[in-house]
Amino acid sequence: MHRAAVRNIPRMDEGPVRLTRESLYEIVWAKPMTHLAAELGVQASILVEACRQLDVPRPGSGYWTRLAYGQRPSRPSLDPRPEGSPHEIELAKPRSGSAGSAPVVQVRTTLRNAHPAVETLRNLLVSDSPDRDGMHVVRGESYGAIVRVTDATRDRALRLLDALGRSLAERGHALRCQAPQRMYGSHALEVDVAGEVVALAIVEPMKQRTHVPTPAEVETQRRSGWSFAPRFDHVPSGQLVLRLHAPYGAARRSTWADRTNQRLEDLLGRVVLAIEEAAVTIREQRREERERERVYQEERARRARAEHLAQHQKALGDDLINMATGWSRAESVREFLSAVEEAVPAATRCADFTAWLAWARSFQRSLDPLGRPDAIAKRLEPPPESAGDASPFWSSTSDPR
């Protein structure tokens, strides 16, 4: 559907793009909003607001899921707008770090009265012995280490997290550090944005440098002619990297690092915006997942009902054939018994013959479904699936509904 619209989705690499109502209508019905926003390089909320301003209908819950299941849901038409109403809108791709787009985050020079999550991390790092690389590590549950620093970068990493936590709190979000119960010794560094959780980590990466042989290694090589010394050493870099852990596509950028011409202190405002953007996308992805699950369960129930009905129809057919077969056999037995009565005069019948003939007549009547007329007709609707071992159908007279 809408293949031409998919091919004509505008690109924003060279600046803002103006869209008419008609073109906006076509592209929002060509792809899911989150996918379209990622392709355009804007937040989904910007597209939603554009649709609201131009009065463009958007796909409702379950539209894309029903398409995925091969259904053909209808889409509303684009009704005309009153004369004088705007018919175009400009979408501008936000420039990273543009003025006013990110909050100013001040990093303090001390950790006095630090953020509670940072205080928890500081206690963990202080009580932790460094590993063989000189790193203090706070293990995470799902994403590896949430903090991995040396003595030289520990204080700065904590001050960065303290500034980030305070800025997030001013915007109504909560930075927290807690120990999950599922794995002993692991912790989680998370930001709660209106109930949606985004995980964070700050680490000091290692750098590679050429190994300088030690005197012992030089002596070993001189004596044996072989050297088992490594070619490179990996040592702490002295720089920090801040990572945002979120589902794929939730944020346009998820890693910020110290560079020659930039430091993390100057990037924290962008990190705040990325966390908020990721939370919005996660909420939308969760809503879409719930909708997919709902449609899947509905489709599953529909198929189960169709299968249940088919089984009931088969049972009705088998029952009809059984009744017809029983009636035919009963008629054959009845004719035979009539012939027997004609062949054996009453005067010559003994007591055993009389008893057998009475039994045979009773048996013949048990074969004939016409002897139970109230049980012939059956309900055409299947019984409840929860009936368990109950009969697959019942007669209309036995159930007056």
Could you tell me where the DSSP H helices lie in 147-192? 151-170
Please give the DSSP secondary-structure letter assigned to residue 378. B
Min mean pLDDT across 132-136, 197-201, 340-344 is at 132-136
What mean pLDDT comes out for the span 159-163? 95
User: What is the pLDDT confidence band of residue 76, given thresholds at 50, 70 and 90?
Assistant: confident
Phi and psi torsions of 87, nearest 5°: -120, 5
User: What is the pLDDT confidence band of residue 97, given thresholds at 50, 70 and 90?
Assistant: very low
- With b for 16 or more beta-carbon neighbours within 10 A and e for fewer, the 337-376 pattern comes to eeeeeeeeeeeeeeeeeeeeeeeeeeebeebbbeeeeeee
Please give the DSSP secondary-structure letter assigned to residue 255. E
What is the pLDDT at residue 266? 92
pLDDT at 231 over 80: yes
pLDDT at 13 over 60: no
pLDDT at 8 over 80: no
What is the pLDDT at residue 100? 37
pLDDT at 398 over 70: no
Q: Any residues with CB less than 8 A from the CB of 282 and at least 6 apart, and which?
A: 196, 197, 198, 246, 247, 250
User: What is the pLDDT confidence band of residue 93, given thresholds at 50, 70 and 90?
Assistant: low
Min mean pLDDT across 31-35, 187-191, 245-249, 376-380 is at 245-249
Please give the Cα distance from 338 to 347 (Å, whole number). 16
What mean pLDDT comes out for the span 95-114? 73
What is the pLDDT at residue 209? 86
CA pseudo-torsion sign 107, 110, 111, 114: negative
Mean pLDDT, the chain, as a whole number?
83
CA pseudo-torsion sign 279, 281, 285, 288: positive
Please give the Cα distance from 167 to 118 (Å, whole number). 13
Percent of the chain scored above 70 by pLDDT? 86
Ramachandran category for residue 146: left, alpha or beta (phi over 0 → left; psi -120 to 50 → alpha)? alpha
Q: Of residues 102 and 1, which shows the higher confidence score?
A: 102
Please give the Cα distance from 117 to 122 (Å, whole number). 9
pLDDT at 96 over 50: no
What mean pLDDT comes out for the span 79-102? 68
> Would you say 270 and 262 are in contact if contact means Cβ atoms under 8 Å apart?
no
SS3 category, 178:
strand
Rounded to 10°, the helix 21-28/33-40 angle is 120
Fill in the amino acid letter for 278.
A
Give per-residue pLDDT as tens, 46-71.
788 888 888 888 887 678 877 877 78
What is the pLDDT at residue 268? 93
User: What is the pLDDT confidence band of residue 11, given thresholds at 50, 70 and 90?
Assistant: low
> Would you say 258 and 241 are in contact if contact means Cβ atoms under 8 Å apart?
yes
The pairs formed by 30-34 with CB atoms below 8 angstroms and a separation of 24 or more are 30/1, 30/2, 30/5, 30/6, 31/6, 32/59, 32/64, 32/288, 33/58, 33/59, 33/284, 34/249, 34/281, 34/284, 34/285, 34/288
pLDDT at 36 over 90: no
Please give the Cα distance from 83 to 126 (Å, whole number). 69
What is the pLDDT at residue 95? 45
Residue 178 pairs in a beta bridge with 188
pLDDT at 182 over 80: no
Please give the Cα distance from 35 to 264 (Å, whole number). 29
What is the pLDDT at residue 359? 96
What is the pLDDT at residue 249? 65
What mean pLDDT comes out for the span 249-266? 85
Give per-residue pLDDT as tens, 321-378.
999 999 999 999 999 999 999 999 988 889 999 999 999 999 999 999 998 998 899 8
Please give the Cα distance from 329 to 323 (Å, whole number). 10
What is the pLDDT at residue 12? 52
Integer angstrom CA distances of residue 57 from 5, 25, 75, 77, 286: 16, 7, 9, 8, 22
What is the pLDDT at residue 385? 66
pLDDT at 98 over 50: no
User: What is the pLDDT confidence band of residue 297, given thresholds at 50, 70 and 90?
Assistant: very high
> Would you say 189 and 117 are in contact if contact means Cβ atoms under 8 Å apart?
yes
> Would you say 9 and 28 are in contact if contact means Cβ atoms under 8 Å apart?
no
Give per-residue pLDDT as tens, 268-290.
999 998 898 888 888 888 888 88
pLDDT at 232 over 90: no
User: What is the pLDDT confidence band of residue 119, given thresholds at 50, 70 and 90?
Assistant: very high
Q: Of residues 176 and 102, which shows the higher confidence score?
A: 176
What is the pLDDT at residue 94? 52
